[in-house]
């Protein structure tokens, strides 16, 4: 199974394509974004932590090419779908990317091909909605004429120790034969495989992983506020607690949740659970707490400005970090957007600085900010600085002589100004 098509060349699909290419596979990367297709074929990278040299090497070796022509799935033995699964404006699952992709490839599926979904979704998507569109568009029957499986992505952007090949891969198939095919596919490129009994178990596994993180982050976010009222530093508490060698795992508070997974994925289960008359109270409460964190940051900022004899209205505010995570260029669902929105609603004049996101890209929820540019330097002529992302550049920056209040939401500033606050 050497010929593989990967649909969706973003933060999940591109690293996976490169890993299969390194492992001897011949990969066709498919995407509707012609800019990505052209970049890959030219040996260029559009993702900060994916080096252009790795793409160029795969291109030079003939292991990787990109195309916007989805009919090319006729040439492959396996198709892996790595497309977005966002929430719509009503906070309900939006499967349009998955199902539209299914409709696009279905007429071109050859008999015996394996189709794997990697996009995070609720249990029943692969053997339900996706299966239906593939069968309707191809005239083939899943589990008989073609194989179908689910294997959740486990990307950790910005973590230099996180390698696609060494992250254990959960795999669930529609039938035992489907599972066998999927195991053979991922065995080419991944060192450890974790087979499970069905697509639904694999889908539920991914949701559990992200719900676990969402709930625990909500816990420390809530404790941050409670302990702050008591004059206790939550960060010091966590450092002390994590010395316990059993029964504790550290999670860290912040200005809100970001990224494509944790702010979104838990609500896929919340939505699906209603179909079975079940209520996900922990998930919903965690969502409420995490969503409220930007408001808490603004409250701390308001108090800091007030103590400095200034109002929020017309204050010059600099947000440090637009990426949702330190040292990456991924701004999806970043809480920094919420902070900008809230400060500007109060009349503040807001600018941002981020070495990884020099220009705000077009986003679904914050299109109004598209094209806004990062300031070139972190200067001292602002009324307030808010650290929203813990980039290494900010950790090392010397703020000690800066006169304005600084709000640190990541506990990352080492050389702190006199008017330093945590939030």
Q: Which residues are catalytic?
A: 261
Phi, psi torsion values for 302, nearest 5 degrees: -55, -45
DSSP state of 152: -
What is the distance of C-alpha 45 from the center of its chain? 18
Q: Which of 113, 144, 148, 152 is nearest to 130 (CA)?
A: 148
Three-state DSSP state, 73:
helix
Phi, psi torsion values for 120, nearest 5 degrees: -65, 135
| Residue 297 contacts residue 330 (beta carbons within 8 Å) | no
**CA atoms of 51 and 165, how far apart (whole Å):** 16
- Beta-carbon contacts of 52 under 8 Å, excluding residues fewer than 6 positions away, are 43, 44, 45
- The Cα-based distances of 368 to 191, 333, 365, 371 in angstroms read 44, 14, 9, 9
* Angle subtended by helix axes 234-241 and 199-229, to nearest 10: 120
Beta strands in 50-168, from DSSP E residues, in sequence order: 64-67, 78-81, 114-117, 147-150
The DSSP H or E segment spanning 27 is strand 26-30
Measured in residues, the chain has a length of: 423
Q: What is the dihedral of CA 268, 285, 331, 228, to 10 degrees?
A: -170
Beta bridge partners of 349: 316
Q: Is 273 exposed, middle or buried (0-12, 13-18, 19+ CB in 10 A)?
A: middle
Q: Cα-atom radius of gyration of the chain, to the nearest Å?
A: 23
CB count in 10 Å sphere of residue 42: 12
Match 């890209």 to its residue by tokens.
361
**CA atoms of 241 and 121, how far apart (whole Å):** 34
């Amino acid at each position: 199974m050497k010929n593989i098509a990967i649909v969706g060349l973003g933060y999940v699909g591109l690293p996976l394509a490169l890993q299969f290419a390194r492992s001897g596979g011949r990969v066709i990367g498919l995407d509707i974004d012609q800019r990505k297709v052209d970049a890959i074929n030219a040996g260029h990278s559009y993702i900060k932590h994916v080096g252009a040299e790795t793409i160029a090497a795969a291109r030079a070796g003939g292991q990787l090419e990109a195309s916007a022509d989805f009919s090319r799935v006729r040439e492959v033995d396996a198709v892996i779908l790595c497309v977005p699964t966002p929430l719509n404006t009503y906070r309900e699952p939006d499967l349009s990317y998955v199902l539209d992709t299914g409709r696009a490839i279905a007429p071109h599926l050859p008999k015996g091909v394996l189709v794997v979904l990697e996009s995070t979704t609720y249990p029943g998507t692969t053997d339900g909605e996706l299966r239906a569109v593939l069968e309707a568009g191809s005239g083939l029957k899943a589990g008989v004429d073609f194989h179908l499986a689910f294997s959740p992505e486990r990307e950790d952007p910005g973590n230099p120790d996180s390698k696609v090949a060494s992250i254990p891969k959960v795999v669930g198939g529609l039938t035992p034969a489907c599972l066998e095919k999927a195991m053979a596919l991922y065995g080419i490129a991944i060192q450890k495989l974790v087979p499970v009994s069905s697509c639904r178990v694999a889908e539920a596994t991914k949701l559990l992983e992200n719900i676990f993180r969402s709930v625990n982050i909500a816990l420390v976010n809530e404790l941050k506020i409670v302990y702050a009222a008591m004059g206790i530093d939550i960060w010091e508490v966590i450092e002390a607690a994590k010395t316990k060698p059993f029964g504790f795992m550290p999670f860290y508070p912040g200005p809100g949740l970001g990224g494509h997974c944790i702010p979104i994925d838990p609500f896929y289960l919340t939505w699906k659970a209603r179909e079975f008359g079940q209520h996900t109270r922990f998930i919903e409460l965690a969502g409420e707490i995490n969503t409220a964190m930007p408001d808490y940051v603004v409250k701390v900022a308001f108090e800091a400005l007030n103590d400095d004899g200034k109002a929020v209205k017309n204050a010059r505010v600099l947000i440090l970090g637009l990426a949702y995570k330190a040292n990456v260029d991924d701004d999806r669902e970043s809480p920094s957007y919420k902070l900008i929105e809230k400060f500007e609603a109060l009349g503040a004049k807001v600018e941002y600085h981020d070495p990884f996101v020099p220009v705000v890209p077009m986003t679904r929820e914050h299109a109004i900010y598209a094209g806004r540019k990062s300031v070139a330097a972190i200067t001292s002529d602002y009324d307030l600085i808010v650290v929203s992302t813990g980039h290494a550049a900010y950790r090392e920056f010397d703020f000690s002589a800066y006169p304005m209040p600084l709000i640190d939401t990541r506990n990352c500033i080492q050389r702190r100004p006199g008017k330093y606050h945590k939030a």
